[in-house]
Structure 1
Amino acid sequence: CVRAQAGVLAKHYDVYIPDLLYFGGSTSPSTDRSPGFQAECLVAALGKLGVERCTVVGFSYGGMVAFKMAEAHPGLVRSLVVSGSVVAMTDSISETTLERIGVKSSAELLLPDSVKGLKALLSIAAHRKLWFPERLHRDYLQVMFTNRKERAELLEGLVVSNKDATVPVLPQKILLLWGHNDNIFNIELAKTMKEQLGEETMLQSIDKAGHLVHLERPCVYNRRLLEFLAYVSAEASKE
């Protein structure tokens, strides 16, 4: 959830937007780089804030953390909205994705160290061509790609072997809200994941949007998100 969503959501809901570890000012003395550890840190923070039930909205890496939160804490997580993510980054998904994109590693794509690399990432992540002045690209590199060592370790900690990967049984209502033209985690992967997650999972795709669906089509994304949240709230009232 980013600024394009925060203002809209805050009109109707209490909104908490955390910095995941190493994605902002948050760090940890722990050497655990797994999404599960990130999830437990978020759960602890929500507990300190007095949050007893919530909907978790996660994009990309945040979606993987959201799935871990839902699996480990069904009493806390009422429902999920996930975009451009997977339940688990298996060997096969990782290899297939990297081969399709044409890069050797996730770090090569997701941790660019030059304007050229950043432009390549944005061209893959967005359906429409994005243009920014060179100065903004340089500023973006300095601001958004800090803690490079730790974030590279986070990427390494994502991948699990196919034999160890399982799809959890999640009781929550789940909305997979996807960019129809996502080049990183394509719509076919989302369809497979919907079938694996079961009857409580819905899949909605947004045309003319890629991996950065919430930025490319914020109005459509926000409308779909608010509709789902209203539906979840209505169902909770019935219960």
Structure 2
Amino acid sequence: MVNLVAAQKPLLHCLMKMAGIQPHTIEIEPGTVMSIWVPSETIKKPKKSETATAATTVKPTKPVVVLVHGFAAEGIVTWQFQVGSLTKKYSVYVPDLLFFGGSITDSPDRSPAFQAECLVKGLRKLGVEKCTVVGFSYGGMVAFKMAELYPDLVEAIVVSGSILAMTDSISHATLSSLGFSSSAELLLPTTVKGCRALLKVAAHKKLWFPDKLHKDFIEVMFNNRQQRGELLEGLVVSNKDTTIPDFSQRIHLLWGENDQIFKLELAQKMKEQLGENATVEGIKKAARVRSYDTASNINLLYSEEYVLAAMKQLNERHNLCDAHEDHSHAGFVLKLPKQLTKASKAVRGYR
């Protein structure tokens, strides 16, 4: 029987290419390869007269945005609804983190710092000199590490549904409140029941999908289970080993007010720890604020008055949702083009 999730991948790849990005594989170091969707205009194909067969890349000519996915899906699956609207003004890079998509490594290091190191090496090999990083969930932790370790590269970050570090106390408290024995039980479901439980935690509004779709999603999106389980283990650090980095970049935190995994109070506390360079904004009637809510804020990080514009844009998002009965992420995606237009007007209004 046809796997419905796998069957839509060729169509998704075609749509991404039409939107202006193409898949590119790059060797980070011997034994480590990353798959990154890069701007089509940066791909330089060899001429017929040249002996080389592999395509090369050139430096991007527009401001760079790097979209880093979470734990439940690879890059373009997570960010498919943002790419088309961002590529008009930005050079968009969508990586697959190690053990997602086509990215692999033979290194035993499973830390977010290693993910950040490999991604930065890949971006630099692609000619990226400065960028804004958008991270969702697990990708947010990688984004924080990129900003901490490579301030010369990362100018600003947008983080949604993520924290600076998964301390043992936060991990224990979160899993206990949700009724799970481990992060793997929550984030690496093996059954339809487990997949439904994950969706219930992640969504504000109850969503229903047929068992067939859950089974297909598990089969396609949760490969490399052993390595991903090790990634989850590599996230947890001791409370006593945790320090708050002194970030020089602007940081914008977007949070679902009904986030069951990381409460809004945690985001507010994190904002206080990060200092005046950080802003936090809660989204009403939302749980895990996914990529539909984050990428439309990229413009704001390039505006000198980005904080005020962000507040206006988020209010517009709330008003737009209030005019409809459907407050789910899927419902918001259908309204995204209109929302992006309003966000753009908000930025121009504050300049």
Tell me, yes or no, if structure 1 residue 214 matches structure 2 residue 290. Answer: yes
Q: Secondary structure at the match of 2:231?
A: helix
CA contact (8 A) 1:8 1:222 kept: no
Q: Secondary structure at the match of 1:17?
A: strand
Counterparts in 2 of 1:77 and 1:233: CA distance versus 1, 3 Å: farther
Q: How does 1:18-33 map to 2 (within 5 A)?
A: 18-33=95-110
Match of 1:228 among 300, 307, 312: 300
1:162 maps to 239
Match of 1:198 among 259, 265, 275: 275
Counterparts in 2 of 1:39 and 1:233: CA distance versus 1, 3 Å: farther
Q: Secondary structure at the match of 1:16?
A: strand
1:176 maps to 253
Letter of the aligned partner of 2:138 in structure 1? Y
CA contact (8 A) 1:174 1:201 kept: yes
Letter of the aligned partner of 2:227 in structure 1? E
Map Cα deviations across residues 163-217 of structure 1 (whole Å, 9 max, x no partner): 0011101000000011111111110000000000110000011111111x235xx
Letter of the aligned partner of 1:51 in structure 2? V
Counterparts in 2 of 1:158 and 1:221: CA distance versus 1, 3 Å: closer
1:88 maps to 165
CA contact (8 A) 2:166 2:236 kept: yes
Match of 2:111 among 34, 58, 68: 34
Distance in 2 (CA, whole Å) between partners of 1:93 and 1:114 is 26
Q: Secondary structure at the match of 2:132?
A: strand
Greater strand proportion: 2
2:133 maps to 56
Q: Secondary structure at the match of 2:156?
A: strand
CA contact (8 A) 2:136 2:160 kept: yes
Q: How does 1:25-174 map to 2 (within 5 A)?
A: 25-174=102-251
Map Cα deviations across residues 144-181 of structure 1 (whole Å, 9 max, x no partner): 10000000000000000000011101000000011111
Q: Secondary structure at the match of 1:36?
A: helix
Map Cα deviations across residues 47-97 of structure 1 (whole Å, 9 max, x no partner): 011000000000111000000000000000000000111101001110111
2:312 maps to none
CA contact (8 A) 1:182 1:209 kept: yes
- Which structure is larger by alpha-carbon Rg, 1 or 2? 2
Please list every run of 5 or more consecutive structure 1 residues that lacks an aligned counterpart in the other structure.
none
CA contact (8 A) 1:174 1:200 kept: yes
Q: Secondary structure at the match of 1:63?
A: helix
CA contact (8 A) 1:175 1:228 kept: no
CA contact (8 A) 2:184 2:232 kept: yes
Distance in 2 (CA, whole Å) between partners of 1:3 and 1:50 is 23
Distance in 1 (CA, whole Å) between partners of 2:236 and 2:193 is 26
Map Cα deviations across residues 14-59 of structure 1 (whole Å, 9 max, x no partner): 1000000012111101000000000000000100110000000001
Distance in 2 (CA, whole Å) between partners of 1:200 and 1:101 is 32
Tell me, yes or no, if structure 1 residue 13 matches structure 2 residue 90. Answer: yes
Q: Which moved more, 1:5-14 or 1:94-103?
A: 5-14
CA contact (8 A) 2:189 2:195 kept: yes
Distance in 2 (CA, whole Å) between partners of 1:148 and 1:200 is 37
Percent of residue pairs identical: 60
Q: State the TM-score, normalized to the length of structure 1.
A: 0.92
Counterparts in 2 of 1:233 and 1:29: CA distance versus 1, 3 Å: farther
Distance in 1 (CA, whole Å) between partners of 2:142 and 2:263 is 19
Between 1 and 2, higher relative CO (CA 8 Å, sep ≥ 6) is seen in: 1
Distance in 2 (CA, whole Å) between partners of 1:39 and 1:232 is 27
Counterparts in 2 of 1:191 and 1:135: CA distance versus 1, 3 Å: same
Q: Superposition RMSD on alpha carbons, in Å?
A: 1.6
Distance in 1 (CA, whole Å) between partners of 2:216 and 2:163 is 30
Letter of the aligned partner of 1:229 in structure 2? L
